[in-house]
Amino acid sequence: MNPEAKVRPSWVDFHCHLDLYPDHADIIEECDREKVATLAVTTTPKAWQRNHQLASGSQMVRAGLGLHPQLICERASEIALFEKLLENTRYVGEVGLDAGPRHYRSFEEQERIFARILRACDEQGSKILTIHSIRAASKVLDHLEQHLSPTGVKCVLHWFTGTNAEAKRAIEYGCYFSINSEMLRNPKHRALVAKLPLDRLLTETDGPFVKNNARPLRPKDVQATVTELADIHSMPSAQMAKYVLENLRSLLI
């Protein structure tokens, strides 16, 4: 994920929970070996330091500072630690909003915390965010427009499942989209992905939550998603792989 790195990546996994695998250190080595530029997202700021430390010897892995919307109910107080650690990293995630039935009760508090996260990111500038937006794409976009200045912070919508109108609004705002294999299994979401601009596409696994026949995906498995995206756009896989790498480069500038 370092644009100055001597070894160039071949693949991109912009959203993976590396610390939830039993072999965290080995999977980092695997990312280096397979040249998968990987954003190791965290769900609480307490988890970031260890992730950052383990990733510091890696050419390919970077750790995102996160506070997951699904954990706000018990973990809202960790926002103070989030704000304290933020200056140490450019990468932020997993953050966002979740209005699904299991998390709707904490929605107001989620909004309050997300607004604080965005304001802190905006103040420091040049952050890159991976954002969760289950049943809340419009609300997420409202917050981005309200709390971020037009330039400085870059946003990647992870596992985006909003409407066409919400997608259009996100594209106009400048968002990127990280696409995983599970999204492409759903015909409705696949049709939406097909309409996203090629210059905004990234790939992700969201492992270990996303699985293939009960086996949690690993970052190198993004190769299959690149092939599927290539099929959707009727182009060779290698060309789609190039788009994704070029998009990562433009995101990191």
Give the interface with Mn ion as residue ranges (CB under 5 A). Answer: 94, 206
> Shortest distance, CB of residue 17 to Mn ion, whole angstroms?
6
Nearer to Mn ion, 9 or 64 (CB): 64
How large is the C-alpha radius of gyration of the chain? 17
> Shortest distance, CB of residue 206 to Mn ion, whole angstroms?
5
Nearer to Mn ion, 153 or 217 (CB): 217
Pairwise CA distance, residues 81 & 103, whole Å: 22
> Shortest distance, CB of residue 94 to Mn ion, whole angstroms?
5
Q: What angle do CA 105, 109, 112 make, to 5 degrees?
A: 150
Nearer to Mn ion, 17 or 143 (CB): 17
Nearer to Mn ion, 94 or 98 (CB): 94
Side-chain-side CA neighbours of residue 234 (13 Å): 0
> Shortest distance, CB of residue 207 to Mn ion, whole angstroms?
9
What burial letters (b/e) apply to 33-72, b meaning 16+ CB within 10 Å?
ebebbbbbbbbbbebbeebbebbeebbbbbbbbbbbbbbb
Nearer to Mn ion, 210 or 230 (CB): 210
CA distances (Å), origin 214, targets 21, 209, 211: 14, 10, 5
> Shortest distance, CB of residue 60 to Mn ion, whole angstroms?
19
Strand, helix or coil for residue 158 = strand
